[in-house]
Each structure stands twice: as C-alpha cells, then as structure tokens.
Amino acid sequence: MEGLELSSKVTTKSAYTFGEPDAKYKIAALDFGIKKNILRNFENRDCFVKIFPANTSFAELKDFQPDGYFISNGPGDPGVMDYAVETVKQILAEDKPLFGICLGNQLLARAVGIPTYKLHHGHRGGNHPVKNLKTGKCEITTQNHGFAVDMEALKKSDKAVLTHINLNDNSVEGLEVV
C-alpha cells in the first residue's frame, strides 16, 4: 500500500446528497471511500450532506455554501495524495469547521506540515483502546488503517495538538488543528 493512491478508484464518480435539504447544517464531504453509516450518523445529527468526488476543487466545495467540511476515510497512502492535501489547506483557510477521520485525519495532518508513515502492523478490527487526552477516558474503537500521523512531528508542531492516542502502540489516533 505504501506509495499507492487508491482513493481515486473508490470515490464517487459524481456528487450526490444524503439527508434532508432543510436540515440544520449543510456539510460538504470529500469522498475518499466514505461509508454509508457515516452519512447516516450525519443525518441523525440534523445534517444535509453533499458528497463530492475526491478530486473536487475547493471552489466547487465552497459553491455549495456548507456550514462545515468533512474529509472521509478511504484506502491508500496519504503521502502520495498531494491534490487532496492542497484542497484541505484551502478548506483550513476558510475558517469553518473541518472534521476528518482515518485517511481524512492523516490528510489534515499533512496539510499542516505533519508527515505520515506506514504502520508496521496496521490497525484492523474492533477493540482498539484509544485514550481521549481531553477527557482522560478510554474509548474502545473499531479501526481499519495502515498509516498513521508522525507522533514526534505532531509534538513539535505549533499548528496541531495530539487529542487521541492508541493504547496498543502509542500511535496518533486524533489531532486538533490550533
């Protein structure tokens, strides 16, 4: 998987919507391999989501006039997805809420200059303990990723802070851009 850009193989071919158009929030989602249950969770939180192909320009995302942005999960190496990193940088400059999971989290890190790397053993399946550093609580998670954000670079960064850590291998599971 290292060096492979796979999201372009699984992304939607054209934009589509999910949820009720009169929902409280409008979310622009970049699809790198989004799962339907993620969309259901947005809908359950009163969000109307427009899902865009992975290579959509920031201008097209912005034309939707969203309240916030979502960068989805998906396969492949974030280190070779410069087109996506550039889009995330433009979203960050918009100063609207932005949330990324899995690959989306890794692309967010890269957008603020923090590298990613291939895990020796990917995180696959259920029962992965993750500590939320804001609450001090442990969360049991389901994961499916083979890349991670570089911990040492994150600790040195003045652009992001560590928020979640995997208790099995002490790898980064969450960060917040500051």
Burial class of residue 132 (count of CB atoms within 10 Å of its CB; 0-12, 13-18, 19+): middle
For strand 116-132 and strand 98-100, is the pairing parallel, antiparallel, or unpaired? unpaired
d(CA 177, CA 25): 22
Q: What is the maximal distance between C-alpha atoms in the chain?
A: 45
* Phi/psi at 130 (5° precision): -125, 130
- pTM metric for this prediction: 0.95
Predicted confidence (pLDDT) per residue in 105-156, tens digit: 999 999 999 999 999 999 999 999 999 999 999 999 999 999 999 999 999 9
pLDDT band (50, 70, 90) for residue 71: very high
What is the arithmetic mean of pLDDT over 33-52?
98
Predicted local distance difference test score (pLDDT) of residue 25 = 99
Domains of the chain in sequence order: 1-111 (3.40.50.880), 112-178 (no CATH)
d(CA 134, CA 55): 33
